Amino acid sequence: MPSAPGLPKPQTRRITEIEGLRGISLLLVVAFHLFGHGRVSGGVDVFLFVSGFLLTLSLLRWSHSGSRPGLARRYGRTLLRLVPATLVVLVFVAAMTVLVLPHSVWGPTWREIVASALFMENWELISSRLAYGAAGPETSPLQHFWSLSVQGQFFFVWPAVIAAVVLLARRIRMPAVAAITTLTLAGTAASFWYATAMNGREPIVAYFDSAARFWEIGAGALLAIVFTAIPRLHPTVRTVLGWGGIVLIIGSGFAIDGASAFPGPLALVPLSGAALVILASGEPTRFGADRILSWRPVEWVAGISYPLYLWHWPILIGYLAVRDQASVGAMGAIGVLALSIPAAWATRRWIIDPVLRRRERLSSRRSLLAPIGAIAVIVIAAGAAVAYESRDRPVIAADVQHPGALALAGADAPDGVDAVPALDAAFQDLPGLYSLGCVQNYRDQPEYSEVLVCDTTGDVDGSIEVVLTGGSHAQQWYDAVEQIASENGWRLTVIDKDGCRLTFEADTANQSCAEWGAAAIQIIGDLKPDAVITVSTRTDHHSAAETVSEKEVASWARLTAEGIQVIGIRDTPRFPWRIPECLEKHGDDPESCGRDRAEVFAATSPVQDAAGVPGSMAQLDLSDGFCSETRCEAVVGNTVAYRDDDHMTATYSRTLVPLLEEQLRGAVPGLFR
């Protein structure tokens, strides 16, 4: 097969610095995770940039050779390089989860093991709304696998795309380099625009999004295209460029908060540094950065950087869980590093190197099937655990042994009774809305701004229509409201979107909340229901700074002016910790998981004195259904009250029915005919 027309033959050019560059990038990540107090370096960005550079350089050499793509062998070699160490760490995480982590996180961890094995962890994190920040007791032990997932997706998609482009170029006699360059430029520009937009709208999603990250990889690919055409630079110039690149890479971690800024335009700082180091590569210089990057200790660290990256994070999370600490101190970080380095060295010595030596003797078929088979074993095992943890749980009703909120109203709660729901099921004790598909995604995208009207609950033939709306803190009341609606002939309509209060303008950076809210209020006005139930205040996780939003007040006034009865329920308590996990850690002292009432609620509901609140708006205050005069406990009346740090369990919601109905009858008697 003839070589690709128009593509200059890539010259073999020594890049001794590349391994050191990759090592420094991953070592930066590890160092900032352990000692950075939540700051995020540009190490991952450099890692992705270098991955794009090396893979594209390899593909360019193939495209010039005129040979067949050989995708099966390429994929097999890639899997054998990445998978063995990955699976060893995943098995370790599975064992650590059972032995160390609270049962309430088992289900999510099994799902993340499956996602990580399939190089889809970044999308799993997006779907579960995890933020990327400092390690803590609630952080996933596999959160760091997101970057490996992005890299893996690129490694499997990019060769196929380039192969298709080159084969097409050969057929139409177009210079392959022109086709590859056009594709790479277009993809990189589109990704850069998308990353910039998403970084301003949804930085958490942008951080993990493959489409937002591609431009960093694409920038490396563009450098690969022009790399061999750039003449070798004078040693003095190379010295200046190399050290300048190192300064940009390391300095970006201290000057830029990557957790909120990357992969936006500021990521150009560490990427420019990586590009300068690569451009400065070549024969050894006397005083250049290559002296450091090729220094034996640096080469040794670079050699274990990949397994070190894999090991350090789960060891850190395990350390925090065992020590029951929210953050790692300097001595703890040193201890984690002291454990991670031997684990990384052993993985390189006895797992990675033997596999790589054997890889050269395997056929394309075996090199592909062997790692796929190993991945399948992990996925099947973890998938079975996911299925078990996700099994249907029986609906628990209040009874004499589990009075829940009624215990605060005088009902007897016998001692020695196990609390319900069980702690391993509490985080899944969701409102019935979820099984009905009545909850809209929180994503800040146009397709998530369309309003879903769900009216299949309560008494569907009832003559009284009640709308429940106002975000997840309204959703958590669903089970109680639905029972009252069914018993009193209400047709219950749910109009709700995760994370969105009922406002014309969003109280958060999520622009789709504003768009959704304006449309939802219009739809509610057109429905003209007898009443709208929503949340009237907002509590805080760390203080009693209970507030009322002026934007929400405006929406209440709008609905009231249209003759619709608005019913506001005071917000529920929030905690600085997730209740099921806290109870697992302090099972012999559940009171330690509660908070003083004065730390949760203002002395009186602030909505009573808020300006502009319609006089006809009904105000419900169920704070006495969660707290005694002095304390807001995690377990009330032998019932676990919360499924996370600020949402009550559906089981506890059902115990509030008598208290909620009593206040509704007193405030809005017209609903009870």
- For residues 309 and 144, give the distance between their C-alpha atoms in angstroms, rounded to a whole number: 8
Backbone angles phi, psi at 136, to 5 degrees: -155, 180
d(CA 521, CA 510): 17
pTM: 0.84
Q: Are 556 and 568 in contact (CB under 8 A)?
A: yes
Q: With a cut of 60, say whether residue 629 has pLDDT above it.
A: yes
- Read off the pLDDT of each residue in 216-236 and give the average, rounded to a whole number: 91
∠565-569-571 over CA atoms, to 5°? 150
Q: What is the pLDDT of residue 297?
A: 87
- pLDDT in the model for residue 492: 93
387 dihedral zone (left: phi>0; alpha: psi -120 to 50; beta):
alpha
Report the chain's C-alpha Rg in angstroms.
29
Predicted confidence (pLDDT) per residue in 63-115, tens digit: 877 677 789 889 999 999 999 999 999 999 999 999 998 887 888 899 999 99
Does pLDDT of 5 surpass 70?
A: no
Which helix H or strand E contains 82, and what residues bound it?
helix 71-99
Residues with Cβ within 8 Å of 71's Cβ and at least 6 positions away in sequence, in order, are: 159, 160, 163
- For 634-653, write each residue's pLDDT tens digit: 999 999 999 999 999 999 99
In this model, does residue 40 exceed pLDDT 90? no
Q: What is the pLDDT of residues 408-453, one digit of tens each?
A: 998 888 888 889 998 888 888 888 888 787 777 766 555 556 788 8
Question: Which of 158-162, 246-250, 277-281, 321-325 has the lowest average pLDDT?
Answer: 321-325
pLDDT higher at 69 or 522: 522
Q: What is the pLDDT of residue 1?
A: 34
Q: Can you give the pLDDT at residue 341?
A: 96
User: Whose CA is closest to 252, among 283, 220, 285, 274?
Assistant: 274
**Among 565, 521, 563, 23, residue whose Cα is nearest residue 277:** 23
| Angle subtended at Cα 10 by Cα 4 and Cα 13, rounded to the nearest 5 degrees | 165
Helix/strand/coil percent split, the chain, to 5: 60, 5, 35
Average pLDDT, the chain: 88
**Residues in a beta bridge with 466:** 492, 531
Structure tokens at 440: 């809209």
Is 666 in a helix, a strand, or coil? Answer: helix
Res 537: pLDDT: 95
Rounded to whole angstroms, how far apart are CA atoms 420 and 417? 9
Structure confidence by residue, pLDDT tens digits, 175-215: 888 999 999 999 999 999 999 998 887 788 899 999 999 99
pLDDT band at 465 (very low <50, low <70, confident <90, very high): very high
CB atoms within 10 A of CB 234: 10
pLDDT at 107: 87
Q: Residue 389 pLDDT > 60, yes or no?
A: yes
Would you call 441 helix, strand, or coil by DSSP?
coil
The confidence score (pLDDT) of residue 454 equals 85
pLDDT tier, 3 (very low <50, low <70, confident <90, very high otherwise): very low
Mean pLDDT value across residues 126-131 = 68
Omega within 30 of 0 (cis) for the link into 2: no
Handedness of CA 15, 17, 23, 28 (dihedral sign): negative
**Residue 547, C-beta contacts closer than 8 angstroms, at least 6 positions apart:** 537, 538, 540, 606
Euclidean distance between CA atoms 265 and 194, whole angstroms: 11
Query: At residue 455, does pLDDT exceed 80?
Result: no
pLDDT at 436: 81
Q: What is the pLDDT of residues 580-603, one digit of tens each?
A: 989 988 877 889 999 999 999 999
Q: What is the structure's pLDDT at 456?
A: 66
Task: Calculate what percentage of the chain has a pLDDT beyond 90.
Answer: 59
Q: Which pLDDT belongs to residue 260? A: 82
The per-residue pLDDT for 443 is: 63
pLDDT of residue 510: 62
Picking from 253, 254, 154, the residue whose alpha carbon sits closest to that of residue 212 is 154
Strand order in the sheet with 531-535: 454-458, 490-494, 464-468, 531-535, 565-569, 618-620
pLDDT greater than 70 at residue 279: yes
Distance CA 434, CA 393 (A): 14
Cβ-count burial of 14 within 10 angstroms (0-12 exposed, 13-18 middle, 19+ buried)? exposed
Give me the domains of the chain, ranges plus CATH numbers. 17-386 (no CATH), 426-671 (3.40.50)
Q: 14 pLDDT exceeds 70?
A: no
Strand 631-632 vs strand 595-596: parallel, antiparallel, or unpaired?
A: antiparallel
Residues 6 or more apart from 117 whose CB is under 8 A from it?
A: 86, 87, 90, 375, 378, 379, 382
Helical packing angle, 145-172 and 43-65, nearest 10°: 30
b (16+ CB within 10 A) / e for 366-392: ebbbbbeebbeebbebbbebbeebeee
